[in-house]
């Protein structure tokens, strides 16, 4: 059928619909033929249903059910397009004069039946004679394409902003803050992949430029490299004095370092290289002796100084108690107990 004949048929059906349905304000989309002509699959995703009002299902419930059903149908139409694209579509791009093939759908993409079709519209009509609620949902593919192209650009621009801020912070040795910026950027890649996937499913002519695939991969690689570099952690300089009955020890410092290392911290040999300076001063004192057992206490003063903020961000006093067969062993146990308390507190401040 040529274009002229198609137009004539469409005009005839439109006029027929108006005469047939117009008198009773029946929407044209209730008629199957007219609906298929006006909302062609090439331009729209659609959903249509009819729900009968019964004794157990009043008009309100029937209308709610009809709306939910047509939105489900509409969503399933989009999901069907996405599913077929996942296994078929790959985007070819040029990178450093070497062609690489990237699948737009990566493992972090999640598209479910609970997705919201942006710009979708739902209309209902109740036929009093038949007691049937009709519902029709539709979404214009070109409006969806426009929305997700814009959405894609917004999220990529946000990622760029987070990464640039992280780079500036890294140059200023503010590694903890830089890592936070990258952590905020990372979830946006899922939104980018989601938008890319929908664009490929909806727009069969989507190009690598439309999908901004090159920029996406470059940003993702840059973020991954920065995270690996920053994984060395915050640099901490630990100093102070631990006095065990006149003997200098590092019992508390070593325990605290071990726990902070699990949090990604690294340790330096000078205050100038550090993000934080940790001062630990401890003294052990004899408490009591009884039946061959010796009990000791340790008193510890701790201060954590942020080199970038140029101020102490944490300061507190701790104590520990230990008992053993000798004064030295009891003193060591007291210091170990205090070290556990200190490590637990400090890990909340050093990130």
pLDDT in tens, 134-149: 999 999 999 989 998 9
pLDDT at 29 over 60: yes
**pLDDT over 80 at 314, yes or no:** yes
Tell me what pLDDT residue 139 has. Answer: 92
More confidently predicted of 54 and 229: 54
Asked if the model's pLDDT at residue 150 lies above 80, the reply is yes
pTM confidence score: 0.55
User: What number of helices (H) and strands (E) belong to the chain?
Assistant: 10, 11
Radius of gyration of the chain (CA): 34
Q: Decide if 135 contacts 70 (C-beta within 8 A).
A: yes
59-106, pLDDT tens digit by residue? Answer: 999 999 999 999 989 888 887 776 665 544 444 444 443 333 334 443
235-346: CATH topology is Double Stranded RNA Binding Domain (3.30.160)
Assess whether pLDDT exceeds 90 at residue 54: yes
Across 112-138, average pLDDT: 86
Tell me how crowded residue 233 is: count the other CB atoms within 10 A of its CB.
19
3-86+112-141 has CATH 3.40.720 classification = no
- Residues 65, 66, 72, 76: what is their CA dihedral angle, to the nearest 10 degrees? 150
> Residue 1: how many CB atoms within 10 A of its CB?
7
Rounded Cα distance, 256 and 279, in Å: 11
Rounded-to-integer distance, Cα 29 and Cα 36, Å: 8
Whether 276 shows a pLDDT value over 50: the answer reads: yes
Is residue 78 within 8 A of residue 107, CB to CB? The reply is no
């Amino acid at each position: 059928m040529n274009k002229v004949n198609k137009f004539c048929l469409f005009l005839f059906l439109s006029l027929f619909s108006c005469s047939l349905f117009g008198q009773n304000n029946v929407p044209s989309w209730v008629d199957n033929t007219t609906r298929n002509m006006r909302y062609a699959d090439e331009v729209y995703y659609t959903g249509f249903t009819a729900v009968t009002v019964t004794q157990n299902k009043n008009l309100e419930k029937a209308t709610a059910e009809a709306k939910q059903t047509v939105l489900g149908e509409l969503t399933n139409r989009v999901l069907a397009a996405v599913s077929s694209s996942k296994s078929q579509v790959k985007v070819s791009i040029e990178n450093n004069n070497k062609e690489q093939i990237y699948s737009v759908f990566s493992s972090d993409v999640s598209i479910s039946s609970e997705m919201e079709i942006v710009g979708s519209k739902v209309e209902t009509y109740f036929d009093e004679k038949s007691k049937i609620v009709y519902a029709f949902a539709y979404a214009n593919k070109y409006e969806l394409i426009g929305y997700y192209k814009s959405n894609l650009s917004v999220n990529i621009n946000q990622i760029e902003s987070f990464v640039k801020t992280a780079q500036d912070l890294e140059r200023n040795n503010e590694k903890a803050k830089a890592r936070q910026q990258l952590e905020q950027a990372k979830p946006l890649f899922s939104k980018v992949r989601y938008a890319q996937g929908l664009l490929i499913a909806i727009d069969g002519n989507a190009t690598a430029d439309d999908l901004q695939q090159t920029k996406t991969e470059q940003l993702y690689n840059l973020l991954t490299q920065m995270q690996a570099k920053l994984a060395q952690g915050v640099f901490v300089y630990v100093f102070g004095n631990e006095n065990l009955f006149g003997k200098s020890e590092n019992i508390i410092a070593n325990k605290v370092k071990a726990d902070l290392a699990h949090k990604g911290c690294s340790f330096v040999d000078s205050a100038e290289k550090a993000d934080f300076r940790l001062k630990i001063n401890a003294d052990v004192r004899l408490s009591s002796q009884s039946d061959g057992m010796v009990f000791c206490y340790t008193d510890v003063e701790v201060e954590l100084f942020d080199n970038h903020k140029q101020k102490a961000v944490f300061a507190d006093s701790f104590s520990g108690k230990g008992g053993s067969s000798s004064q030295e062993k009891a003193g060591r146990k007291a210091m170990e107990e205090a070290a556990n308390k200190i490590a637990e507190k400090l890990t909340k401040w050093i990130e």
